[in-house]
Amino acid sequence: VQTKRNGVDMGKKTQLTEVKAVAEYLKKVAGEHGLEIVRVWERSKKGFIDEDVAALLGVKVTIIRTALNRLHYWGISYYKKRKNRRTGWYTYKWHIDTKRLAELVLEGEMEALEKLKEKRLLKHDSTMFTCKKGCEEYPFEVAAEYQFRCPFCGDVMEFVDDTAYSKRLENQIKELERDVKKLKKILEKAQ
């Protein structure tokens, strides 16, 4: 059950900007204010004027415009033009396509996840050997051909203890899988 207060969704629903990967993505494509702009949109889900957001965030309007244009390039933001009959001027109200944003981030996350899983497979396939300096890592067969002497520095090559590396890899995979799950859930609800 969702409850609304002051037009703000107070329900348990996960907001897109709460997903770490979304925050990182927005920073990458639209700079440090990208995330804040999308948050403004999430709070009201109403078209906004760049000047209002600039005032709200306490930054120059040109900075907000730049961020909005960068988001527009990726199809994440779009505007609706309206003519003021009295002045003849146009007002631009900006909107955020959160579905498009979620899809873009999800795409990137799935790709990254695939790569990490490939890495994990490779690691599990063979035991690696290297010298103390760590010039290069070799699977057993290759290290044996070198008679366990590093071809670069001549030092003895020993079995690489990759427990820490594997753990780090495992954590990265878990984190990505969590994000992917959240994003898919958000997208399902957006259908």
Q: Which window, 65-73, 80-88, 142-150, 170-178, contacts Zn ion (CB under 5 A)?
A: 142-150
Q: Which window, 62-70, 98-106, 131-139, 160-168, contacts Zn ion (CB under 5 A)?
A: 131-139
Question: Which CB, 10 or 153, lies closer to Zn ion?
Answer: 153
Rounded to 10 deg, the angle between the 61-73 and 20-30 helix axes is: 110
Per rule CB under 5 A, is residue 152 in the interface with Zn ion? Answer: yes
Q: Which window, 94-102, 112-120, 145-153, 181-189, contacts Zn ion (CB under 5 A)?
A: 145-153
Question: Which CB, 114 or 158, lies closer to Zn ion?
Answer: 158
In the block, tokens 């930054």 appear at 59
**Backbone phi, then psi, for 155, in 5-degree steps?**
-75, 160
Identified binder of Zn ion from the candidate list 8, 122, 153, 156, rule CB under 5 A: 153
Per rule CB under 5 A, is residue 150 in the interface with Zn ion? Answer: yes
**Backbone phi, then psi, for 139, in 5-degree steps?**
-70, 165
In the block, tokens 């009201």 appear at 44
Question: Which CB, 9 or 155, lies closer to Zn ion?
Answer: 155
**Backbone phi, then psi, for 171, in 5-degree steps?**
-65, -40
Per rule CB under 5 A, is residue 131 in the interface with Zn ion? Answer: yes
* Window 69 to 88, contacts with Zn ion (CB under 5 A): none
Segment (H or E) for 83: strand 77-83
Q: How far apart are CA 165 and CA 94, in angstroms?
A: 45
